[in-house]
Structure 1
Amino acid sequence: MAASDGLSRKKQKRGGRYSLSDLKTLGQQLLSSRAHVNNLPILLSFISPSSPPHYALESLLSLQSFFTPLLPELPSSAFSKTSNDSNPDPEFIYRTWLRSKFDDLVKLLIEVAISSQSEDTLREVVLETIMEFVKVGNGGKFHSAIYHKLLHSIVHSTLTVGDSLLDLLASKYFNYIDVRYFTFIILEKLARTLEAKDDKKGISGVYDASQSMTSMELSIHKIHNLLSHIPALEASDENSEYEMWNGLGIFIEKSNHKELIDVEDKRIKSKKSSDKVLSENNITKKMKLKFTKAWISFLQLPLPLDVYKEVLVTLHQNVIPRLSKPIMLCDFLTRSYNIGGVVSVMALSSLYVLMTKHGLEYPNFYDKLYALLEPSIFMAKHRAKFFQLLDSCLKSPLLPAYLAAAFFHNLLQRHPSINCLVHQERSRETTEEASGEEKLNVDDEENSSANRDLSDKKPGIDHFNEDESNPKETNAIRSSLWELDTLRHHYCPPVSRFFLSFENDLAVRGKTAEIAVMDFSSGSYATIFNSEMRRRVKQVPLAFYKATPSCLFSESDFPGWTFELKDEELISFNQ
């Protein structure tokens, strides 16, 4: 006590300020004897974002060394009661008080971790300390309550989405399977309890990107950031090793047999002779279940537009293969597909996976797919992937002719019944029918109706209705690909060369091959120009004149027209 009193007097002489050496002395005293336990609140006061980093670090080292061996002996809560409240045990009161100080320490550490004032080095040490408490804070087991407080504070903090704390947590701890397991559980709870704070919602619950980011949008960004940084569960047949943060782990079955756990390297070793460690199958099932619940809860939130698009782009690769029941995404994806525009294009990949691999039935799928084929789609960022998927969706030989006729080149080979579109001739039956209708003598109203029907069957009239969104009602099978003749003489050489593929009989598959959609869908004016610039031209077209022309057009080009001005008109024009 004498040393402590001397330190207090020395502090008073300096106006109530502690030096770094004073903090070190206080920490040594705290670790040496219970008599100096009152040093604990003093050291806690320096765990703050406003404290100098070296002061906070010195205090943290002493407090961590003090609490770590005591955690298994502390009560589960600072509000625990004894069996006899009228005559409480002094030792229990002491440990309850220590528990309250430990809870204060955890709270202060989290504040330092999420504060923008904290230096990166201090934030890293603080995160390591929190995770050490998570490892052994629950009687030697994983302390999910502390981890929940950490993630809750990160998600609801004002930190930016790309803050180093999120990256640090993902890079250092997400390789442990138990940390991933509890991360899924906690993120599911956070997503379910997250409530909207404003009315800035767009179509299908998507936030309007033109509005400023709210606290809820920021929280959604962070949940997505955390979910997308959790690596996939990789496991082989017999040699897989799942690394755990806590050696007593949640994937160990309770048994009286000897543990098959190496606590030193904290690895679960999968052995067929052991009934202590869950099999890889069971571990995978448990992880998939928690992964599924976390993602389904997240996708029910009103996602900001940038997050919404990012989710749709990666969903088919990073999420669907890891879900326990991928079909649970059908509502989210069909709703996204019905929005239209670029959102529908981005939802197509995942929707296609559900339809082809998981038995999803979508009655109006081809109607929606046809409606996406607008001019703007050829300038979309993800057009290459879209046209590949479009081609894949139309590979079935069972598609009806009217549907195949509404789409493009490869279908002419897959469906010979629509090859007539390349050269659509007026049938003799139609001609005779039209001729017969011309000879009908009916009253004015019927005659007018007949004339309208007749006009629809005249040569040169395209029956295709480009404004119709339902491919069945477009009359595409009654039309013809008359645009091909204009493409034959197109100014752009690659376009005119592509037309040559239609010169062959498309019904004979030996003479023609389907085009690779990727070779064309990712092109642009820039790629065409660069390609033409690299070509070595052997013959260059030249214009040769025997006499230097004096005008742009000759008089024979415009018979009956004159381009000469009278003298007075010329003078007036020059003035």
Structure 2
Amino acid sequence: MNGAISNKKRKRAVNANPNIASTRVSRLDPEHDEASDILLLETKILESRKNYNAITDLIGHLHNDNDEVQSLAAVALCRVFCRLLAAGALTNNHEPSDSSSQADRTISQWLLERLKETYKQLFHFLKDNDATKQATILTISMQLLKEQAKHYHRANYAQWSRDAFQDMIEILIAEDTHFTAAEGFAELFASKYDDIRYYTFDRITELLSSAISEARTERVISMLALLEPPDLDRDDFPRRFLDPPLTSNKKNDVASRNTYLTQMQKVWMAVIAQKPQKAQRKRILESISTHIAPCFLKVELLMDFLTDSFNIGGSTSLLALSGMFYMIQVRNLDYPQFYHKLYSMVDGNILHSKHRSRFFRLLDTCLASTHLPAVLVASFIKRLSRLCLFAPPAGIVVVVPLIYNLLKTHPTCTFMIHRNSDLSYKDEDGCGDPFRIEEQDPMETDAIESSLWEIETLQSHYHPNVATIAKIISEQFTKQAYNLEGFLDHTYGTMLDTELSKELKKEPEIEYEIPKKIFARYDKAAGKDDSLLVKLWDFT
């Protein structure tokens, strides 16, 4: 938007007789009447500073009930203020000693008040549910902010983000604002421009410096989830929406990668300081190893949050464990009790959890190292085998290939396959299995002295797929490893669909004689036996 008015239009507006103009406008329909009035007001304002009072009339059109009139007025105000900012009409660097300068300061102050009034009304429009209107208002608002940063805040480049931009961020995360506004802001600006993303983090951090409501915290987390971290190593970083600052200030300049990462670290620590609820904590944990932790310069700041999340239990513990593993594997942090906590999560609930796929991906990665003690790996193998006795078929078909892969990676554990389950050892219950399932320390379970009789039992499972896959333990280990991704997404529904989609090689066996009576008894003279249903129930 350059606010330029063509000479032809300007000349016509100047030379037009007011009486003729009013007669011509009155013949138009009300909507065109408003549009002509807006254009006339804009032209008058840009012609002379004597007509600045017309800005108030132009702002009045923003209160019109017609959406098109509101949009026309918003665009006109944007052009007006962009021209005034470029011309220096809103600067306040004049010396107050000079009378003329004092008048200029008064006018500048008045114009600034009208600009704030315009911002206020534009941001109010962001609460509208119309995504197209929100996108238009966002574009106009950001253009005004850009011009204000370029021409008004020359002395302090970052000051612009503490005025109207902060008010806009507050509106975007307000509970009564439709979330499409935040989505539009992220798509059109924050995701494209690194400096806008940086200042968004800065403003949200400022807003989180005091306690906010749970609903607002949820909006903040949702908005931050839209702002994925950029590739800091790309050649065009930072991609700017605003022009570079006139004075270099490394503390506020997004060109510094460490400054950017520090700001992102601050905003997430501010979110965690709000003590998010369980559902909000899960949302943070889901992206902690992909979007959050990689951007932390001091990743150890997250360890307390991860530890507290793990102690909650259930699926929250699983998500926290994923973050812990990232810290150990990628950031080389020491967490001595990691495998103890991982072992404690291998219980009956995990095979029924909706996060089962995520857990087994993590477990497969954690136990893939050949440097792990065989005693430790044997405990996981044995505990998984025992849980299969009470697991749904969709869970068993994941566990058995995982056990196969672990046995291939750790050949010392293969003695568990060939050991006879009828051991001379007898525990206090008379069972011949030395494995202590109640033991929480995987190094002290004696699983290495046990056998995999549970997998052999599964070879007689009622589900044919489970019985078939369980037989791989009894065959030669010629396959290098199974790709778990082919088993992780199995559910009751997918297994049922697989069975129903099979082509029958032969018709199933049915009763050779269709009974004529199911709920009634046959006459004794007929010489036929009553159905089992009739024998068990009396329907008379």
TM range (shorter): 0.7 to 0.9
Equivalent position amino acid for 1:136 in 2: E
Superposition map of 1:116-135 within 5 A: 116=129, 119-135=130-146
Structure 1 window deviating more from structure 2 (98-107 vs 403-412): it is: 403-412
Greater Cα shift, 50-59 or 147-156? 50-59
1:359 to 332, 336, 344: 332
One-letter amino acid matched to 2:242? N
> Partner amino acid for 1:248?
P
Partner of 1:421: 416
**Equivalent in the alignment of 2:459:** 488
Runs of 5+ consecutive residues of structure 1 not aligned to the other structure: 197-215, 255-277, 432-454, 549-563, 565-569
Q: CA deviation at 1:167?
A: 2.2
Q: Do the aligned partners of 2:126 and 2:177 also contact (CA within 8 Å) in 1?
A: no
Between 128-137 and 322-331, the greater mean CA deviation after superposition: 322-331
Deviation at 1:348, TM superposition (A): 2.9
Corresponding residue to 1:336 among 287, 306, 309: 309
Following the alignment from structure 2 to structure 1, what is the Cα–Cα distance between the partners of residues 479 and 123? 67
Work out the CA distance in 2 between the residues paired with 1:34 and 1:296: 49
Match of 1:226 in 2: 223
Q: Which residue of 2 aligns with 1:212?
A: none
Q: 2:540 aligned with 1:527, yes or no?
A: no
* Alpha-carbon shift at residue 147 of structure 1 (Å): 1.5
Question: Superposed, which structure 2 residues align to 1:486-565 within 5 Å?
Answer: 486-504=457-475, 511=478, 513-533=480-500
Task: Give the 3 Å change call, closer, same or farther, for CA 51–322 of structure 1 in structure 2.
Answer: same
Taking structure 1 as reference, are residues 503 and 125 closer, same or farther at Cα in structure 2, changes over 3 Å only? closer
Q: CA deviation at 1:501?
A: 2.4
Q: Does 2:350 correspond to 1:377?
A: yes
Q: How does 1:212-291 map to 2 (within 5 A)?
A: 216-234=213-231, 240=236, 242-249=238-245, 253=248, 283-291=256-264
1:535 and 1:573 map into 2 onto residues whose CA distance is 40
Read off the aligned partner of 1:366 and give its amino acid letter.
Y
State the partner residue of 1:147.
Answer: 165
Take 2:509 and 2:120, find their aligned partners in 1: how far apart are those partners? 82
Aligned residue among 8, 27, 30 for 2:42: 27
Aligned 1:304-315 pairs, distance under 5 A: 304-315=277-288
Return the alpha-carbon distance in structure 2 between the equivalents of residues 573 and 176 of structure 1: 78
Tell me, in whole angstroms, the C-alpha distance in 2 between the residues paired with 1:285 and 1:244: 17
Describe the superposition over 1:97-148 as per-residue Cα deviations: whole angstroms up to 9, x where unpaired.
Answer: 22222222222221222345xx544433322221112112035366323222
Q: Aligned partners of 1:290 and 1:574: how far apart in 2? A: 77
Distance of aligned partners of 1:330 and 1:136 in 2 relative to their CA distance in 1, 3 Å threshold: same
Do structure 1's residue 190 and structure 2's residue 207 form an aligned pair?
yes
- The one-letter code sitting in structure 1 at the alignment partner of 2:217 is I
Cα distance in 2 for partners of 1:401, 1:424 equals: 16
Higher share of residues assigned helix: 2
Q: Aligned partners of 1:485 and 1:374: how far apart in 2? A: 20
User: 1:84, CA displacement in angstroms?
Assistant: 5.1
Find out whether 1:169 has 2:164 as its counterpart: no
Question: Contact 1:114/1:157 (CA < 8 Å) preserved in 2?
Answer: no
Q: 2-side partners of 1:374 and 1:148: how far apart?
A: 48
What is the CA distance between 1:520 and its match in structure 2? 3.1
Q: Residue in 2 aligned with 1:37?
A: 52
The AA in structure 2 aligned to 1:482 is W
CA distance in 1, matches of 2:203, 2:46: 35
Asked if the contact 1:31/1:62 (under 8 Å) is kept, the reply is no
* CA–CA distance in structure 2, aligned partners of residues 494 and 121 of structure 1: 52
- 2:471 is equivalent to residue 471 of structure 1: no
Q: CA deviation at 1:88?
A: 7.9
* Residue 115 (structure 2) aligns with: 102
- Change in 2 beyond 3 A, CA 1:426/1:462: closer
1:6 deviates by 8.0
Q: Measured at CA, do residues 459 and 191 of structure 1 come closer, stay the same or move farther in structure 2, by a change above 3 Å? A: same
Distance between the aligned counterparts of 2:352 and 2:59, measured in 1?
Answer: 59
Q: Which amino acid aligns with 2:454?
A: E
Aligned length: 465
CA distance in structure 2 between the partners assigned to 1:69 and 1:544 by the alignment: 90
Q: 1:180 to 1:4 in 2, by over 3 A?
A: farther
Deviation at 1:406, TM superposition (A): 1.9
Shift of residue 170, structure 1, vs aligned partner: 1.7
Query: TM-score, normalised on structure 2?
Result: 0.73
Matched, 1:65 2:79: yes
Corresponding letter in the other structure for 1:299? I
For residues 138-193 of structure 1, what are the alpha-carbon distances to aligned partners after superposition, in whole Å with 9 as ceiling and x for unaligned? 353663232222112222351133x2x22221222121222122112112222333
How many Å apart are 1:401 and its aligned residue? 4.1
Structure 1 residues 95 and 522, CA gap change in structure 2 (3 angstroms): closer
Q: Does the 8 A contact of 2:62 with 2:73 survive in 1? A: yes
Q: Give the letter for the 2:318 counterpart.
A: V
What is the TM-score when the length of structure 1 is the normalising length?
0.69
**C-alpha displacement at 1:340, in angstroms?**
1.7
Aligned-partner Cα distance in 1 for 2:135–2:498:
51
**Preserved contact between residue 291 and residue 322 of structure 1 (Cα < 8 Å):** yes
Question: How far has the Cα of 1:483 moved from its partner?
Answer: 1.8
Deviations 1:332-358 (A, max 9, x none): 222222322111222333221111111
Distance 1:381 1:190 in 2: 35
Q: Which residue is equivalent to 1:349? A: 322
Equivalent residue, structure 1, for 2:174 = 156
Please give the alpha-carbon distance, in whole angstroms, between the structure 2 residues aligned to 1:528 and 1:54: 55
RMSD over aligned Cα atoms:
4.2
Within the alignment, does 1:90 sit opposite 2:90 as a pair?
no
Matches of 1:104 and 1:458, distance apart in 2: 81
C-alpha distance in 2 between matches for 1:332 and 1:4 = 72
SS at match of 2:117: helix
> What does residue 205 of structure 1 align with?
none
Q: Distance in 1 between matches of 2:19 and 2:104?
A: 28
- Kindly indicate whether the alpha-carbon contact (under 8 Å) linking 1:47 and 1:112 is maintained by their aligned counterparts in 2: no
Q: Aligned AA for 2:173?
A: V
Q: Any conservation in 1 of the 2:194–2:237 contact (CA below 8 Å)? A: no
Structure 1 letter corresponding to 2:473: F
Q: Residue 127 and residue 539 in structure 1: after superposition, are their counterparts in 2 closer, same or farther (change >3 A)?
A: closer
Match of 1:179 among 180, 187, 196: 196
CA distance in 1, matches of 2:511, 2:62: 88
Identity of aligned residues (%): 24
Shift in Å at residue 233 of structure 1? 2.5
Amino acid at match of 1:55: V
Cα contact 1:403–1:471 (8 A) shared by 2: yes
| Residues 139 and 419 of structure 1: CA distance in aligned 2, closer, same or farther (over 3 Å) | closer
Task: Give the Cα separation in 2 of the matches to 1:541 and 1:104.
Answer: 79
For 1:89, what is the secondary structure of its paired residue?
helix
From 51, 67, 71, the equivalent of 2:65 is 51
